Structure 1
């Protein structure tokens, strides 16, 4: 198995293909984007940013890395890798975008799972800190600071798009996928981390984030529920779990204090993995 950088980047300003020249990516109209010394490129125009540093903070990224590297979500990573590689048998290579890649855990797991197929990998996140962490850990993939709302990717150039606990923008996913390409999406189920939510919130909602219908331009291939129990021992990994989720900012001060006092926690992990195929008439 080999992992190679994804090369079909597009200019975020005019949408035409970028080509690499030395330590920069350039387009034919003269726009140029320097590659940082850590190995990533910033393709999120200032006018598209809603804050000075959008996305996850440096502390959130570090917490997620510690938690995921400890293997707590390994069953999810295994299911994502299996779904991503499904249908790739016999292909010499597949190109894959992790849209909202965080610090790159699921892409690294995919690289470990692939055999006999070359992977062209692109990790994209709106958080500079997330992309920086991913680039530092794996210099074989292409790492980009960018937005799912305006993917800096050439149309029809991808075989797979991953959207894991993220913010799907289906028209953009349809645009960048080739006909027959697949979207692998993971969302929280109604019982996901219920025990933690019961501690930090006065009332727990039970609605599921499952996608009931295939998005426009896609057809559903499979839907898989992934459910398992998780026991976390120690205050630090519990704090990391809380810090890597939106719950840290949604919970009250009292709720956060209750969580901080825990020395162990048994949890339900409940997620849904959807596989959608891009239809030929998606554009």
Structure 2
């Protein structure tokens, strides 16, 4: 088993390949990007930002890390790893399978993938997120002497990856940009998209949105450049038996900001709750 950081980065300013020289990534035009002391590289130019501090806040990242490390979404991580390995891992030769988690958060699912890779297989991993707080948290958990993943601050709308360089792209509860995913994937590569099902966290949503109509599963729309390989629905009951776990679950989701003040206050009083976890894992092949 071999796991290494992904190498085929592209300059976010001109799209040219980046080469690493010590602790600096440079393109042929001379654009340079320093590796931070935590081990990540910021490839999100100011002109590609929609705010001064885009993405999840430091508090949201911390809540997500606590919640995920408690193992509540381990079945989701296992299902994603199975989807990644559902096809042949690599072509002939010794080239590692390049895998990007686009919207990786603090790296939970990518670390799960690294721990699940079969023997005699090679992976080159990259985690990208628009939140610098998420990438800092992810990079801090990697081994600085022998890192497993390349951690990058960047945007799904302009992936800093050379075209046709990846074998797998994960999009976990994130913001898919299919034209970019199609650009960076090799023909035959897989996009694995994980989406919330209609009943996902329904019991919590019923509390914070008392007048909200139930969500409905939306039909799949086939993105250009892809063909549908299959969809798996994972559903299970999850019991949270302390108020801190409930608070972390709410804080790590967009529902925290969408809920009314009254809804958040009612959720804050919860000491325990059983919620439905329902996710849809969709596999698309790059044609």
Q: Does 1:277 align with 2:285?
A: yes
Q: Does 1:20 align with 2:20?
A: yes
Cα distance in 2, alignment partners of residues 97 and 89 from structure 1:
14
Residues 90 and 97 of structure 2 are in contact (CA less than 8 Å); yes or no, is this contact kept in structure 1?
no
**Given the superposition, is the C-alpha separation of residues 227 and 172 from structure 1 closer, same or farther in structure 2, using an over 3 Å criterion?**
same
Cα distance in 1, alignment partners of residues 32 and 9 from structure 2:
12
Secondary structure of the 2:47 match is: helix
The one-character-per-residue Cα deviations of 1:166-204 (angstroms, maximum 9, x if unpaired) are 000000000000000000000001100000000111223
Aligned to 1:195: 203
Q: Does 1:141 align with 2:144?
A: no
- 1:53-132 mapped onto 2 (5 Å cutoff): 53-89=53-89, 91=91, 92=94, 93-116=96-119, 117-132=121-136
Cα distance in 1, alignment partners of residues 219 and 100 from structure 2:
20
Moved more, 86-95 or 96-105: 86-95
Aligned to 1:175: 183
Aligned residues: 279
Secondary structure of the 1:187 match is: strand
1:209 deviation in Å? 5.3
1:207 deviation in Å? 2.9
Cα distance in 2, alignment partners of residues 277 and 210 from structure 1:
20
Cα distance in 1, alignment partners of residues 81 and 54 from structure 2:
28
- 1:116-265 mapped onto 2 (5 Å cutoff): 116=119, 117-138=121-142, 139-208=147-216, 210=218, 212-265=220-273
Cα distance in 2, alignment partners of residues 112 and 222 from structure 1:
24
Residues 188 and 210 of structure 1 are in contact (CA less than 8 Å); yes or no, is this contact kept in structure 2?
no
1:268 counterpart (261, 266, 276): 276
1:211 deviation in Å? 5.2
Residues 88 and 94 of structure 1 are in contact (CA less than 8 Å); yes or no, is this contact kept in structure 2?
no
The one-character-per-residue Cα deviations of 1:46-65 (angstroms, maximum 9, x if unpaired) are 01111111000000000000
Aligned to 1:36: 36
Cα distance in 1, alignment partners of residues 216 and 133 from structure 2:
29
**Given the superposition, is the C-alpha separation of residues 209 and 126 from structure 1 closer, same or farther in structure 2, using an over 3 Å criterion?**
farther
Moved more, 112-121 or 151-160: 112-121
Aligned to 1:11: 11
CA RMSD of aligned residues (A): 1.1
Cα distance in 2, alignment partners of residues 45 and 52 from structure 1:
11
The two structures have a TM-score, normalised by structure 1, of 0.96
Cα distance in 2, alignment partners of residues 119 and 243 from structure 1:
32
Secondary structure of the 1:154 match is: coil
Write out the 4+ residue segments of structure 1 that deviate beyond 4 Å after TM superposition: 89-92
**Given the superposition, is the C-alpha separation of residues 152 and 84 from structure 1 closer, same or farther in structure 2, using an over 3 Å criterion?**
same
Cα distance in 1, alignment partners of residues 216 and 30 from structure 2:
46
Moved more, 204-213 or 119-128: 204-213
